[in-house]
Amino acid sequence: MSVNKRVVVVTPKFFDAATIGFLESQGCSVVLAMLPNGKSDAAATEEELIAVLAEADAWIVGHANVTSSLLQALPRLKVIARRGVGYERVDVDAACRSGKVVTIAAGGNEESVADRTLGLMLATAHRFRESQQQLIDGPGSILIGHDLYGKTVGLVGLGRIAQHVVKRLRGFETTLLVSTPRPTFAYGKAMNIEYVELDALLQRSDFVSLHAPLTPATKHLVDATGLARMKRSAFLINTARGGLVDDRALLEALNEGRIAGAGLDVFESESDPGLAWVTNELVRLPNVIATPHSGASTHEGLQRTNLVAANCVVSVLGGEEPPPGCQVFSSTYSAS
């Protein structure tokens, strides 16, 4: 299927040659955007994005803020394909009003983020950071950590990533608690899950792992009150979205020893720069393992997600039904 050399501009980094080849084989002209000073698209200004997108028919986007004013400045643009599953940085309503199509790329990074989740559980419990610092600083006592094996793990949310986490945790013979507004009881029975309310999950879990979307209803889902319900020996893991946790309350709880540690891939400061100081203090704590929202950033995960986003672009520009994983938001689009 050809789309007659439609221009596809790619602003996220790490876009692989195989996916570029796929787009070109479908009649697309691929432009890897060079943003000033090597910026990520998340850090680019609206003027910088307009400059690289002026001739684009399709935009494969990473973490840029896609605003109404930006969309109005790009009349040629037809499709915005997120390389990822969240769309809170995209003004979907504005895109729909302007006749543009927004897609997300589900199914590409789930395995990678599930791996990161387990990695953070193990790294915090086994005190990897503190133990390595002992070796760097010189002779010191051996630090005693905790097993993940046999512990109670509470998952907040049960979407695709959380279900991959469930599969991995079964190998550790954990007790699994899940808090979700939409429990699937057949799945729960098959995977030996106990569905509980959030308060009970926080009180009972040795590890609390967040897998919910960020919405007005879930903002600060884990706040000072929730942290106070957790065991002093418990670990909080967040690979989902900054804002699900009140990071200031988390910093206070960690400083006061009210929970044992945290493994964080996301932070409130990603959407609120005024909280950068909180992130800076969190990542310096010895009992925090932190990564920069990179849970999906493996070679394999990015290649999978690149290809899903590319398939979204090709399908929408060609007026065809998008393949599985390409969730579409549009007021007008329908496959021919």
Q: What is the mean pLDDT of each run of 10 residues along the chain (336 residues)?
A: 75 95 96 92 94 97 94 95 86 91 89 97 97 90 96 97 97 98 95 98 98 94 98 98 97 98 97 96 98 93 94 92 73 62
pLDDT at 2: 42
In a domain, 1, yes or no: no
Residue 123 sits in the same domain as residue 269: yes
Residue 264 sits in the same domain as residue 316: no
Does the annotation mark 164 as catalytic?
no
The percent helix, strand, coil of the chain (3-state, each to 5) is 40, 20, 45
Residue 180 sits in the same domain as residue 285: yes
In a domain, 336, yes or no: no
In a domain, 96, yes or no: yes
| Range list of β-strands (E), the chain | 6-10, 28-32, 58-61, 79-82, 101-105, 152-156, 175-179, 193-195, 207-210, 235-238, 261-264, 288-290, 326-329
Catalytic residue (choose from 110, 241, 268, 304): 241
Residue 182 sits in the same domain as residue 85: no
Residue 269 sits in the same domain as residue 248: yes
In a domain, 335, yes or no: no
**What is the Cα gyration radius of the chain?**
21
pTM of the prediction? 0.87
Which residue segment(s) compose the domain that 11 sits in?
6-108+297-329
Are the CB atoms for 45 and 94 separated by under 8 Å? no
Catalytic residue (choose from 160, 168, 258, 293): 293
CATH of the domain at 103: 3.40.50.720
265 residue type, one letter: D
Catalytic residue (choose from 48, 110, 111, 270): 270
Residue 198 sits in the same domain as residue 322: no
Does the annotation mark 127 as catalytic?
no
Residue 129 sits in the same domain as residue 170: yes
What is d(CA 19, CA 34) in angstroms, rounded to the nearest whole number? 18
What are residue 174's phi and psi, to 5 degrees? Answer: -85, 160
**What is the length of the chain?**
336
Strand order in the sheet with 207-210: 193-195, 175-179, 152-156, 207-210, 235-238, 261-264, 288-290
DSSP string, 278-305: HHHHHHTSTTEEE-SS-TT-SHHHHHHH
Residue 308 sits in the same domain as residue 324: yes
Are the CB atoms for 114 and 120 separated by under 8 Å? no
pLDDT at 58: 97
Residue 134 sits in the same domain as residue 229: yes
In a domain, 158, yes or no: yes
Are the CB atoms for 206 and 212 separated by under 8 Å? no
Residue 60 sits in the same domain as residue 188: no
Residue 119 sits in the same domain as residue 198: yes
* Domains identified in the chain, total number: 2
Which residue in this structure is represented by tokens 């999978």? 304
pLDDT at 3: 43
In a domain, 334, yes or no: no
169-198: string of b/e by CB count within 10 Å (b at 16+)?
beeeebbbbbbbeeeeeeebeebebebbeb
Does the annotation mark 270 as catalytic?
yes
In a domain, 90, yes or no: yes
Residue 75 sits in the same domain as residue 114: no
Cα dihedral 59→65→68→70 (10° resolution): -60
